[in-house]
Amino acid sequence: MFVQELVLRQRVEILHALCSSGSAEHLEQVLDILLSQGELIFEDYQNIQVPGRALYTNARQLLDLVHAKGGDTCARFYAALTQVLPEAQRAGFSFPGRCSNVEENEEHQSTSTQTLLAQRPSLVSELQGCIEDALRALVASGHFTYADCDEVRLPIHTPSQQARHLLDHVRSKGESAATVVLQYIQQKRESGSLLNQGNWTPPKEVLKYQKKLSSSVSAQSCFLRTYGGTSHMSLDDIYTEGQLELAHNCEDVHGPLGLEDIVGTAGTVNSEADTVLVSGDAGGGKSTLLQRLHLLWARGAALQDFLLLFPFSCRRLNSEQQELSVQELLFQHCCWPDREQEEIFQFILDHPHLILFTFDGLDELKQGFSDEHWLCCPTQRAPVHILLFSLIQGSLMKGVRKVVTSRPEAVGPALKKHLRKEVLLQGFSPSGIDCFVRKHHCDPTVAAKVLESLQTNTTLLGLCHCPVLCWIVSQCHKELLGCGEGSPQTITDVYLMILQHFFQHQSSLKSTTGSGWLQEHLNTVLHLGQLAFEGIGTSCYIFSGTYLEACGVTEKDICMGFLIQSKDMSSTHSQRFEFLHMIMQCFFAALYIVLSNNTHSSTIPKLFEPHNMRETGLRSSACFRACLPSTDQQGQALKEEATLSETPNMQITATFVSGLLSQRHRSLRLHCCPSAVMEKRVRQVARCLSKGMHKHFRSIPQPVEGEKKSMHAMPGFVWLIKCIYEMQDSRIAKDAMSKLEVDHLKLTYCNIGPVECTALAYVLQHLRNPIGLQLDNNSVGDVGVEQLLPCMHICNSLYLRNNNITDEGICKLLAKVIQCDSFQKIALFNNKLTDACTQHFSHLLKTRQDFLSLRLGNNNITEEGAKQLAEGLKHNHSLKYLGLWGNKIGDAGAVAIASALESSTSLVWLSLVGNGVGRAGARALANIIKNSTSLEELWLTENCITRTGVEYLIQALEHNTRVKSVWLRNNDLSLEEVEELRQRESRLIF
Ligand code: ADP
């Protein structure tokens, strides 16, 4: 009775402990435990966990139910609370006597479904690191459809919620699905690490060290840094899955990659190498992704094959002046063992496969990667960058897995050859943006308003694919919702918005309204700007008090929140600061270049030609140089050395300089700097952009006779386009494009996402003659496609192979291009198209009698889609090339297409490779051969055509001399049949 009463009396405290963090995790863990013990039945669970209902209401419902079930249930409930809640949260209320730790239900379970329920708490924890693999097992066994998988992986759910959804879904599928999950988990346990094998356990001292290391890693990674200045935001509450993709196409990997796939075997290109590279743009979420991995590991929820994980920040390693051995590097920079250092280090050397190193921000290291000098001996001391490069290439501590993050620009061929694989982090997907905004705002009406305003400003929505910009937009929601017409268009606009937001929120002064706010805070801007500018010139991202003093940064400036205290695992240093994010440092550097009276007139030209820096020096001023450690040789050398990492930062800074000097921010600059100086700077930037563009155009080779003049964009071209966009001056765009005379512009593998598409369209729309625009292998997506629309009138062909485009994006594109007279060709191989878009293609074909080429290979088009397409083909008299390779149109689809094309006089090339076409399809296709006066090549490789089918084709070929080849490799034919048929018709190719 007593415990039951306690539940009533402590109701408020219990609710507070369970719900005050805003996260449902504690409540859900308690439910897991009670379910596993049979205290709750599944129907109870469903009554409590009502989707979309407030967390507090769910918790109240649980309390009511527990109370109603009586004393025993209440006692178990308290025991579950003890296990789940952190100590600090338990302090608010008393517990009835001793609450022993909860054991999982050990009773014998006769069915897999019962086992699933009884082991629920541990299964949730084990599954959350390997959801994708478990889903694969369920799809492979036929228990789950892709729609089931999508429901489980909804990005709004945390990994543990995804695990619970998976279990709940499996439950509804019945006993055999439950068995599959249990078998999968069993296999994982068995094939897992050494850690799980037999009775082997690591030595006691190592386990103690592991505990210390993981609690330190956990403490370092549980909050997100960008929220440091404003509010603490736990990573659990805000983390949103980014889009991960392999850099190299890999046959065996389908669907999105999960976090654990980063270190898993999927997509390995060099199994000898130990280093995995995660590359992505600045602000794209690389550090946050590592932070998530660290946290999951520290909690035992992921990467459990690794006993020890050592996280490093290259930014922090920059300030290591001493030569170190690997042992010193690990212990001093990550976690110091209380005892037995030698024994622990020996263990690390003896068990490399149990160790994981992560290096965040290789591009921020002062020295660019080189494999010229390397070490093999783990006890030898060396400068930190040599240690790091030796670890990455595996000359040192071979077998230890390393995960390195970097911006793609800073990854050269020297590093690439030492990579096990490369994973691209491509920011948030559209549903990721949605999910992030909802997590960021606890008030759902605010979240809905922000999302609504993003939908009306697709340029801004495009920017939000980059997580750091999504954060800014969410952070500044009040400004965003209030600004109507003038809502941000460029990256500079977005950063100006956060500048104003921080000033208005953190300044005790009453803020000026209108455009005077920048002038009001000019001193702070210039102090921080100088610090940022000098730092970028010397690859310095962490600043001691001496640096701050040298640039006049005051306490008040620090309080604005743009600088945060630098965290250091070794924590031996005095207080040091860094900018909230690297891009923020670039932004302040740009503000300094634009607004300061002290910069040299050559600064802007040098900024736009970063490779000239070495000779001319956008280097540190005397005062800053004095702060650098001049006594030791290494520091001295660094002062002289221009590095790889500077180029991307210089480029980002230059982009901001262009944006800040845009005409639209003129009133903001007013009174901050003499207008004559400002006008001169504007002219300088315009000149630099024009010069830069022309340099690219001069590099275009003359075409070989009969071929089109084509330009393959060099690195830097897209950057210049982005700078022009930031300036928002159509005269500059026009001027640049007036000199571009090519027929084909190739921008493949250029990291083009929605943001780049906006800039490209802005500039390319001023081209004088139509071009072919090739954007294959980027991450354009639906939002990017929408951004490209303004330049479609100047495209005669568009190549968007492998770009994550769905029906939604393609429908918008087709609605536009149908009105563009020059538009004649489209290639969409390997996207996410389904039958839902084929009627729009059909409409295009019917309407446009000058359309030439339609390539839709490797999408999800079935018989239905083929029938829709056939409708359009029937009425079209111009199409020459039709590619449907790798869809699923089957015999019925082939029959529909064939009958539509039977009397075509334009079709030259048709591919139905890999479409499940059999005898009936072949028979129908034979009719095209029989009647066509234009067809030259027919591709039917990888189908299921039998000998009878081929006979139809042979008969048809007898009446046709125009067809040059019919490709029939990998069909249902024996070797003998192939030999015989080849003899009979030499145009059949097997
Ligand atoms: P990078 O290391 O690629 O420059 P960061 O990881 O520092 O990018 O991300 C910048 C900011 O963007 C973070 O501080 C955070 O506010 C936001 N962010 C990035 N990735 C995520 C994510 N997966 N979930 C939630 N917020 C994120």
Coil, strand or helix: which one is 830? coil
Residue nearest to atom 12 of ligand 1 (CA): 468
Query: Nearest-CA neighbor of 775 among 747, 750, 817?
Result: 747
User: Is there a contact between 810 and 840 (Cβ–Cβ < 8 Å)?
Assistant: yes
What pLDDT sits at residue 806?
Answer: 96
Tell how far the Cα of 518 is from the centroid of ligand 1, in angstroms: 27
Over the stretch 326-368, which tens digit does the pLDDT of each residue have?
999 999 888 888 888 888 998 898 888 899 999 999 988 888 8
At 485 the pLDDT is: 56
Question: What residues contact residue 628 under an 8 Å CB cut-off, 6+ apart?
Answer: 538, 540, 620, 635, 638, 639
Q: Which atom of ligand 1 is found nearest the CA of 288? A: 6
Distance 427 CA to ligand 1 centre (A): 9
Is the pLDDT reported for residue 833 higher than 90?
A: yes
* Residue bearing the CA closest to ligand 1, atom 11: 468
Instruction: Name the residue with the closest Cα to ligand 1, atom 19.
Output: 285
Handedness of CA 606, 609, 613, 618 (dihedral sign): positive
Q: What is the pLDDT of residues 526-576, one digit of tens each?
A: 999 999 999 998 888 999 888 999 999 999 899 888 998 887 655 555 788
Q: Measured in angstroms, how far is the CA atom of residue 714 from the centroid of ligand 1?
A: 28
* pLDDT at 637 exceeding the cut of 50: no
For strand 710-712 and strand 825-827, is the pairing parallel, antiparallel, or unpaired?
Answer: unpaired
pLDDT band at 614 (very low <50, low <70, confident <90, very high): very low
Share of the chain above pLDDT 70, in %: 89
Torsion region of 716: left, alpha or beta (phi above 0 gives left; psi -120 to 50 gives alpha): left
Task: Indicate if the pLDDT at residue 976 is higher than 70.
Answer: yes
**CA neighbor of 386 nearest in space, from 410, 369, 404:** 369
Mean pLDDT highest for which of 226-235, 513-522, 791-800? 791-800
Q: Does residue 296 surpass a pLDDT of 70?
A: yes
pLDDT tens-digit series, residues 919-961: 999 999 999 999 999 999 999 999 999 999 999 999 999 989 9
Q: Which residues on neighbouring strands pair with residue 747, listed in sequence order?
A: none
Residue 913 in 3-state DSSP? coil
Residue 716 has pLDDT above 60, yes or no: yes
- Say what the pLDDT of residue 634 is: 41
pLDDT digits (tens, 9 = 90+) for 686-700: 999 999 998 888 877
**pLDDT score, position 646:** 60
Asked whether 294 and 359 are in contact (CB, 8 A), the reply is: no
Cα of 455 vs its chain's centroid, Å = 21
Q: Which atom of ligand 1 is nearest to the CA of 281?
A: 3
Q: How far is the CA of 620 from the centre of ligand 1 (A)?
A: 29
The model's confidence at residue 111, banded by pLDDT at 50, 70 and 90, is confident
Does residue 425 have a pLDDT over 80?
Answer: yes
What local confidence, expressed as pLDDT, does residue 483 receive?
62
Split at pLDDT 50, 70, 90, the class of 496 is: very high
For residue 167, how far is its CA from the centre of ligand 1 (angstroms)? 30
Q: Cα-Cα-Cα-Cα dihedral of 433, 247, 145, 264, to 10°?
A: -100
For position 151, what pLDDT does the model report? 85
**Among 171-185, 435-449, 460-474, 564-578, the least confident range:** 564-578
Q: What is the pLDDT of residue 263?
A: 92
Task: Give the other-Cβ count within 10 Å of 389's Cβ.
Answer: 27
276 Cα: distance to centroid of ligand 1 (angstroms): 19
How far, in Å, from the CA of 171 to the mean position of ligand 1? 35
Report the alpha-carbon distance of residue 931 to residue 595 in Å, rounded.
73
d(CA 288, ligand 1 centre) in Å:
5
Residue 296 and residue 241 in contact, taking contact as beta carbons nearer than 8 Å: no
| Ligand 1 nearest-atom number relative to CA 239 | 24
Share of the chain above pLDDT 90, in %: 49
Please, which pLDDT band fits residue 405 given cuts at 50, 70 and 90?
Answer: very high
Range name among 31-40, 187-196, 538-547 with the lowest pLDDT average: 187-196
Q: Amino acid letter at 946?
A: T
CA–centroid distance, 761 to ligand 1, in Å, is 27
Is the pLDDT score of 674 beyond 90? no
Rounded to an integer, the average pLDDT of 972-976 is 93
DSSP string, 752-764: --HHHHHHHHHHH
Distance between CA atoms of residues 239 and 282, nearest Å: 17
Contact partners, residue 641, CB within 8 Å, separation at least 6: 366, 367
Q: Which atom of ligand 1 is nearest to the CA of 360?
A: 2
Which atom, in ligand 1's list, is nearest to the CA of 466? 12
Q: Give SS3 for 782.
A: helix
Report pLDDT for 398: 86
pLDDT confidence of residue 616: 36
Q: From the CA of 580, how far away is ligand 1's center (Å)?
A: 11
Cβ atoms of 35 and 26 within 8 Å: the answer is no
Span of 232-236, 298-302, 778-782 with lowest mean pLDDT: 232-236
Instruction: Name, in order, each residue with C-beta under 8 angstroms of 745's C-beta and a sequence gap of 6 or more.
Output: 710, 711, 713, 764, 771, 772, 773, 774
Q: What's the average model confidence in pLDDT over 389-401?
A: 91
Tokens of 732: 């500059």
Per-residue confidence (pLDDT) for residue 519, from 0 to 100: 87
Residue whose CA lies nearest to ligand 1 atom number 26 = 239
Assess whether pLDDT exceeds 50 at residue 635: no
Of 288, 362, 429, the residue with max ligand 1 atoms within 8 A of its CB, to mutate for a pocket test, comes to 288
Per-residue pLDDT at 629: 43
Tell me which of 131 and 547 has the higher pLDDT.
Answer: 547
pLDDT of residue 641: 42
| Spacing, Cα 511 to ligand 1 middle (Å) | 29
Which of 233, 471, 472 is the pocket-test mutation for ligand 1 (most atoms within 8 Å of CB)? 471
Going through 165-268 in order, the beta strands assigned E by DSSP cover 244-246
Say how many Å lie between the CA of residue 594 and the centre of ligand 1.
Answer: 27
Ligand 1 center from residue 650 Cα (angstroms): 21
Ligand 1: residue whose CA is nearest its atom 6: 285
Residue 798 dihedral angles phi and psi, to the nearest 5°: -135, 125
Q: Is the pLDDT of residue 671 over 90?
A: no
Across 796-803, average pLDDT: 96
Atom of ligand 1 nearest to the CA of 282: 4
Residue nearest to atom 14 of ligand 1 (CA): 226
Residue range 166-181, pLDDT digits in tens:
999 999 888 989 998 9
Question: What tens digit of pLDDT does each residue of 838-882 get?
Answer: 999 999 999 999 999 999 999 999 999 999 999 999 999 999 999
Which atom of ligand 1 is found nearest the CA of 289?
Answer: 23
Q: How far is the CA of 489 from the centre of ligand 1 (A)?
A: 21
pLDDT, the chain, mean: 87
Q: Which residues line ligand 1 (CB under 6 A)?
A: 224-226, 238-240, 242, 280, 282-288, 436, 467-468, 471, 581-582
> Of 360, 468, 491, 494, which is best to mutate to test ligand 1, by the most ligand atoms within 8 angstroms of its C-beta?
468
Ligand 1, atom 15, lies closest to the CA of 468
